[in-house]
Structure 1
Amino acid sequence: MNTIIILTVLVVTFALVFDFINGFHDTANAIATTVSTRALSPRVAVILAASMNFIGAITFTGVAKALAKDIVDPFALSNGTYIILAALLSAIIWNLLTWYLGIPSSSSHAIIGSLAGAAIAAAGFHAINFGGFIKIIKGLIFSPFIAIIIGFLMMSLFKVLFKNLNLYRSNKGFRKVQIFTAALQSFSHGTNDAQKSMGIITMALIAAGFQTGDAVPMWVRVACAAAMGIGTSVGGYKIIKTVGGKIMKIRPVNGVAADLSSALIIYGATSLHLPVSTTHVISSAIMGVGAAQNAKGVHWGVARRIVITWIITLPTAALLGALIFSIFNLFI
């Protein structure tokens, strides 16, 4: 029993560390366009994002419940706590590596891939709930393509609606609108991303026998929301630089179009209880907006680098999760 308690405490601790890292790794995407257009200073944008992420994170639990039971069955895991701990360590390592390199990779892909890899290493492929797992993977795969399309359509609509506006006045007005869209973007991010750690902790509590249902305890919701909010307040300027400037030169109207497009998709996924990659959605929305504005103005080399990272994250995280669990298994 003492071992179970210690392992569960470790899982909760590393889950909150993952949320903290997620805060400055992924949440930076939500305010990247606002900072790059100087609609808000980095400090104010980070405070706004941290506050709205916290509110969003404690508002919903559907994604957390789906993550707690749709990838693996926590009741069927004989070494469930070790599996979850290995998955968290794997995802944290990958997030720190990509953050250091300034690449906006997906924390969602990292944790989901790591969890699947560790579970397969522990109990074989039958440990995976393939129905739920495939549903989640479909959401992760299709959401960036939908974001590109919505971003393209949103920017095309803006070009028609605001074609006669004075450039200086429209930029000034859209900078004010960006404050609202950044808040909306951060709120939607909190409704989806923070719930992944909530689901992981809930899964650990079930696997350790501390609870029997998939309801997310209030202390878990508040702790994960706070960890992400604190992580956001630390900042994520490496990611902001890539997303907010290297994909394309962003003007305020582009930022509003991208923020509205991605917030719409993320909130829609939350409503369907689907975890999506906010990194993928936001970056893809910017690509779609850029293609509608001026396809030649999109730095497709940077976009290609981001896409490659998207593709390799899931399998790499799965392999890393399996490796870390195998190391644990030597001492179990």
Structure 2
Amino acid sequence: MTPLLLFAVILVGASVFVNGWTDAPNAIATVVSTRVLHPRLAIFLGAIFNFLGVFLTGTAVAMTTASIVSIDSGTAGLITLASAQLAIVLWSVSAWRFGIPTSESHALIAGLMGAGISLNGFDAFNWDSIEKVFWGLFISSVVGFVFGLYGTKLVRFLSLRARRRSANRFFSKGQIVSAMLMAYTHGAQDGQKFMGVMYLALVVGGVYPAIEGKMTIPLWIMVLCSLIMAIGTSIGGYRIIKTMGLDMVRLEKYQGFSAEIVASFSMLAATKFGIPLSTTNTKATAMMGAGASQGIDKVDWDIAKEMGLAWILTFPACMALGFIFASVIRSILI
């Protein structure tokens, strides 16, 4: 293993850690904020279902992510991958410092695009894959909010005749299921992306043969990345959980259940078609919709605006960072 390949693999591991630190907590934010599960138990169960999401859902999202830009074999390809990971880590840690959840998915895609431009210009872009990225933006932002709003209203209507105690008991148990489904879909989306990138780095570096047809990620990469992500979640999770589940909007149990079900099925549908989307955006907008179902004032829109601004800035900022890092590393090595 060359020093550059080792550097790239370590950076992917750092990105996975940061994803667990700043992104994976979104999957369990509502089940913790409604006090259905203790944070430690939620993190432990979330790590298990995150791994299952990676292991059982195929690699369609990983294939889309890996094909967003043309990645050469050897040094140039490793520079592209390493630069994208540096962009993710710098941007995400900066946002975490202020307790703002950002999308590592968008950071990864933008970082790859910026690094690709530095090395091969706009010819590096695979526009079919980029089209799927923009579909993911639409699903995670607009569909998440609309389905969260009307899905919660439907759940409330269906449970009108239930006794409050019985309803709370049902939704408490239901939230455990929906939160684990959310963790499962996080693995199906973000887990796939980053494990796919680690595998791609090893392919580009000559450790594994070139990918032909379906990508098959080795089991050891799945296990390693799942463990790194779980450690990241256990260390840095509560700050993001507080922003998402306590400050931005306070949900009742039925609202938390509705938001998680809506977000999970949206992500499962996208995963089926290989559409990479942001688990953060999807969950956050579904939570906003669920909160707004009882009135628009139930959401702290100042915090929502801060999050929205961070999401908007992620693409240009990480593209610029990916471009800069790739240019600097290329000037040193090539």
Normalising by the smaller structure, the TM-score range is over 0.9
Q: CA deviation at 1:43?
A: 1.2
Q: Is 1:285–2:286 an aligned residue pair?
A: yes
Q: Is 1:128–2:143 an aligned residue pair?
A: no
1:164 aligned to 152, 161, 165, which one?
Answer: 161
Q: For 2:38, give the aligned amino acid.
A: S
- Aligned mates of 1:80, 1:283 — CA distance in 2: 34
Deviating more after overlay: 215-224 vs 267-276: 215-224
Aligned partners of 1:34 and 1:40 also within 8 Å:
yes
> Which residue is equivalent to 2:231?
230
- Aligned mates of 2:71, 2:204 — CA distance in 1: 5
Aligned partners of 1:24 and 1:231 also within 8 Å:
yes
- Aligned mates of 1:215, 1:116 — CA distance in 2: 24
> Which residue is equivalent to 2:194?
197
- Aligned mates of 2:251, 2:287 — CA distance in 1: 9
Q: Percent identity?
A: 35
Q: Is 1:51–2:48 an aligned residue pair?
A: yes
Q: Is 1:102–2:103 an aligned residue pair?
A: no
Deviating more after overlay: 186-195 vs 137-146: 137-146
Aligned partners of 1:74 and 1:206 also within 8 Å:
no
Aligned partners of 1:53 and 1:189 also within 8 Å:
yes
Q: CA deviation at 1:226?
A: 2.4
Q: For 1:64, give the aligned amino acid.
A: A
> Which residue is equivalent to 1:322?
323
Deviating more after overlay: 280-289 vs 152-161: 152-161
1:207 aligned to 204, 220, 237, which one?
Answer: 204
Q: CA deviation at 1:229?
A: 2.5
Aligned partners of 2:61 and 2:271 also within 8 Å:
yes
Output one character per residue of 1:193-222: Cα deviation in whole Å (capped at 9) or x when no partner: 111112212332333333211432333223
Output one character per residue of 1:120-174: Cα deviation in whole Å (capped at 9) or x when no partner: 0122111111221222222123322111111112111112111233334422331
Aligned partners of 2:114 and 2:319 also within 8 Å:
yes
Aligned partners of 1:49 and 1:232 also within 8 Å:
no
How many residue pairs get aligned? The number is 328
Q: Which runs of 5+ in 1 are unaligned?
A: none
Distance 1:206 1:73, change over 3 A: farther
Aligned partners of 2:87 and 2:318 also within 8 Å:
yes
Structure-2-length-normalised TM-score: 0.93
Structure 2 matches for 1:1-332, cutoff 5 A?
5-59=2-56, 60-69=58-67, 71-75=68-72, 79-210=76-207, 211-213=209-211, 214-332=215-333
Q: For 1:308, give the aligned amino acid.
A: L
- Aligned mates of 1:261, 1:303 — CA distance in 2: 19
Q: CA deviation at 1:8?
A: 1.5
Q: Equivalent residue of 2:332, what SS?
A: coil
Q: Equivalent residue of 1:135, what SS?
A: helix
Q: For 2:85, give the aligned amino acid.
A: L
Output one character per residue of 1:272-305: Cα deviation in whole Å (capped at 9) or x when no partner: 1111100000000011111222222111121111
Q: Which runs of 5+ in 2 are unaligned?
A: none
Aligned partners of 1:243 and 1:283 also within 8 Å:
yes
Q: CA deviation at 1:237?
A: 0.7
Q: For 1:182, give the aligned amino acid.
A: A
